[in-house]
Amino acid sequence: MSIFDGLKGVVETDYPLGQMSWFKIGGNADYFVRPTTVAELAEVVKICRENNLPIHVLGFGSNLLVRDGGVKGVVVKLAGGDFERAEFDGTNLVAWAGVDLGGLVRDCVKRGLAGLEALAGIPGSVGGAVRMNAGGNFGDFGSAIESVTLMDNQGDVFEKSKPELSFDYREVNITAPIILNAKIKLCESLPQQLLRAFQEVWIYKKNTQPLSSHSAGCVFKNPRGMSAGAMIDRAALKGTKVGGAMVSEKHANFIIADDDCKSDDVIALIEQVREKVKERFDVEMELEIEIW
Q: Residues 225-281: pLDDT tens digits?
A: 999 999 999 999 999 999 999 999 999 999 999 999 999 999 999 999 999 999 999
- For position 52, what pLDDT does the model report? 95
Q: How many domains, the chain? A: 3
CATH number at residue 183: 3.30.465.10
CA-closest candidate to residue 251, choices 220, 279, 284, 281:
220
Residue 100 falls within a domain, yes or no?
yes
For residues 63 and 120, membership in a common domain is answered with no
Pairing of strands 290-291, 64-65: parallel
Q: Please, are residues 24 and 259 in contact by the beta-carbon 8 Å criterion?
A: no
Phi first, then psi, for residue 208 (nearest 5°) are -115, -10
Please check the confidence at residue 1 and state whether its pLDDT lies above 70.
no
Distances (CA, A) of 222 to 127, 137, 234, 283, 286: 22, 11, 14, 11, 8
Q: For residues 165 and 236, state if they share a domain.
A: no
Please provide the average confidence, as pLDDT, over all residues in the chain: 95
The answer to the question of residue 174 being in a domain is: yes
Q: Are residues 47 and 26 in the same domain?
A: yes
Angstrom distance (rounded) from CA 241 to CA 54: 34
Residue 220 covered by a domain: no
Are 180 and 104 contained in the same domain?
Answer: yes
Instruction: Examine the fold and report which residue of 77, 100, 123 is the final residue of a domain before the chain moves on.
Output: 77
The predicted-structure confidence for 22-49, as pLDDT tens digits, reads as follows: 999 999 999 999 999 999 999 999 999 9
In a domain, 213, yes or no: no
In this structure, the answer to whether residues 55 and 11 fall within a common structural domain is yes
- Return the closest-CA partner of residue 251 out of 217, 201, 290: 217
Same domain, 90 and 201: yes
Asked whether 123 and 22 are in contact (CB, 8 A), the reply is yes
For residues 169 and 238, state if they share a domain: no
d(CA 148, CA 128): 12
Q: Mark out the alpha helices in 165-239 (DSSP H runs).
A: 191-208, 228-234
Query: Are 59 and 127 part of one and the same domain?
Result: no
Confidence band of 7 (pLDDT split at 50, 70, 90): confident
**How far apart, in whole angstroms, are the C-alpha atoms of residue 178 and residue 56?**
9
Secondary structure of residue 80 in the 3-state scheme: coil
Task: Select from 54, 77, 100 the last residue of a domain.
Answer: 77
Q: What is the pLDDT of residue 176?
A: 97
pTM of this structure: 0.92
Report the pLDDT value the prediction gives residue 136, as an integer from 0 to 100: 87
pLDDT at 137: 85
User: 131, 132, 101: which is closest to 118 by C-alpha?
Assistant: 101
Q: Would you state the pLDDT for residue 3?
A: 87
71: in domain: yes
Q: Is 172 in the same domain as 121?
A: yes
Q: 88-115 pLDDT, tens per residue?
A: 999 999 999 999 999 999 999 999 999 9
The predicted model gives 144-160 an average pLDDT of: 97
In a domain, 219, yes or no: no
Residue 64 lies in a domain: yes
Q: How far apart are CA 48 and CA 105, in angstroms?
A: 34
Q: How far apart are CA 146 and CA 166, in angstroms?
A: 10
**CA end-to-end span of the chain:** 28
Q: Which of 2-6, 68-72, 79-83, 225-229 has the lowest mean pLDDT?
A: 2-6
Measured between alpha carbons, how far is residue 74 from residues 29, 241, 278 in Å? 7, 33, 36
Count CB atoms within 10 A of the CB of residue 163. 5
Domain boundary among 77, 95, 116: 77
pLDDT beyond 80 at 64: yes
Per-residue model confidence (pLDDT) at position 45: 97
The C-alpha atoms of residue 74 and residue 269 are separated, in whole angstroms, by: 28
Say if residue 108 is in the same domain as residue 63. no
Residue 50 shares a structural domain with residue 68: yes
Among 5-9, 14-18, 122-126, the minimum mean pLDDT is found in: 5-9
Instruction: Give the domain CATH number at 61.
Output: 3.30.43.10
- Considering the domain boundaries, does residue 55 fall inside one? yes
Task: Based on the fold, state whether residues 137 and 121 are members of the same structural domain.
Answer: yes
What is the extent of the structural domain holding 238?
228-291
Residue type, 172: V
